[in-house]
Amino acid sequence: MKPGPGGTFVPVKDVQQAVEVRLGDRVSRSCRVLALLATATAIQPALAQRQAFTPRPSGSERQISVHATGQLEYNDNVVLNDPRITSGARGDVIASPSLDLSIVLPRATGQLYLAGTVGYRFYRRYTNFNRENISLTGGGDQRIASCVVHGEVGYQRHLTDLSSVLVQDTAPALNNTEEARAYSADIGCGSAYGLRPALAYSRNEVRNSLAQRKFADSDTNTVTAQLGLTSPALGTVSVFGRMSDSSYIHRTVPGVSGRDGMKSYAAGVQLERAVSSRLNFRGSVNYSEVDPKLASTPGFSGIGFDLSAVYSGDQYGVQLLASRNPQPSTLLFVGYEIVTTVSATATRKLSDRTQLSLQATKTWRELASSRLFTLAPTTGNDNTLTLFGTVNFRPNPRLNFSLGAGYNKRTSNIGLYQYRSKRINLTTSLSL
């Protein structure tokens, strides 16, 4: 499954075991191998899209959870200051009904799962933005001797993120539907302690419905190899290597052979350690190189990282994340991006039925493109800030209410509209 931009780490406590077996060494061994697998696949570059795929469900027990969800949101700047689509007021009301799934089916030697959302978004004023909103992830694990084999498929379909449309793009490109598909397979072997090798492969595809946006269609293939060593004193220490090949399949230049894209290589070391029963740390540092496929596109070599610290208390929790990695771009004719993200999330349990969550995220994007594309920004930065707060109220196990408010701000020195937007939403979810 594709992580968010820059990649994420999966805590051991959140990794699903491949099988339901008797308590003992077999359970411990399966869980640790899966943790290594999850990390091996998570450190690959992000897909050229803005929305992350739905993660697999948590827990190893059998669960069939289906929720009918409805959200009503007001956004005071849905057009993101873009004059090509503004018709009077920039704000709009959005209604989003959906069906949310979380299914886990344990087997004797493995597990099957399906998670995600199937819904639709209705805009009151900007009805041309009405679009399906689908994000599904399904997969399974199979234990073979001391190894665990895992496969997964992800699918998304939604309106193009308007913040990824350049000033130079034509107006019809704003009404585009983006479709993304992800396929992955990995295998990890080993026991509770000692060496644990893992190998992962993934393929990500992005497709756009309108001809004006097909220049952003891309394919990315990634192979990751990892060797971990677990000991009670250190936790899990591993070394990894990764190779990724990305191509924009419709982006060619007359008189120039080949397509735009990039090859990237990374090698690094990673540490995963439970500092205490409440505090977990995971960190990865790597050296990365980007080899652009098109002439005059600047290359990149430097340090990448993925860091995570999670504290889980009785009444509150804190999560800190930071990452920096090269990845394909959603912007037309941009070869790749160096994306740095820092985020913090805090949750506070106000009562047995009420919880408060606060999140802040800052993202810096450095762009690189070929001078052969005259309309593309050859250099530049794009910075975004997101603040969001949510209050959840659960009157009973089947019903949940959520009130959220957020703020977004972009500053950019390239061909992207700068904007500020505020939104507030009310969400109701009923277990079926």
pLDDT of residue 6: 35
Q: What is the mean pLDDT of residues 212-235?
A: 90
Residue 209 lies in a domain: yes
Residue 370 lies in a domain: no
Residue 398 lies in a domain: no
Confidence of residue 25 (pLDDT cuts 50, 70, 90): very low
Residue 285 lies in a domain: yes
Closest CA to 349 of 319, 310, 320, 392: 392
**Number of domains within the chain:** 1
Confidence of residue 130 (pLDDT cuts 50, 70, 90): very high
CA distance 144 to 18: 10
Residue 169 lies in a domain: yes
pLDDT of residue 49: 47
pLDDT of residue 8: 32
Q: Which domain holds residue 171?
A: 12-327
pTM of the predicted protein model: 0.82
Residue 232 lies in a domain: yes
pLDDT digits (tens, 9 = 90+) for 229-239: 988 888 889 99
Instruction: Quote the tokens at residue 113.
Output: 């799962």
Strand partners, 105: 112
pLDDT of residue 264: 94
pLDDT of residue 18: 35
11 burial level (CB within 10 Å; 0-12, 13-18, 19+): middle
CA distance 416 to 407: 18
Residue 18 lies in a domain: yes
Q: Which amino acid does the sequence have at 162?
A: L
CATH code, domain with 206: 2.40.160
Distances (CA, A) of 125 to 73, 78, 332, 423: 13, 10, 27, 16
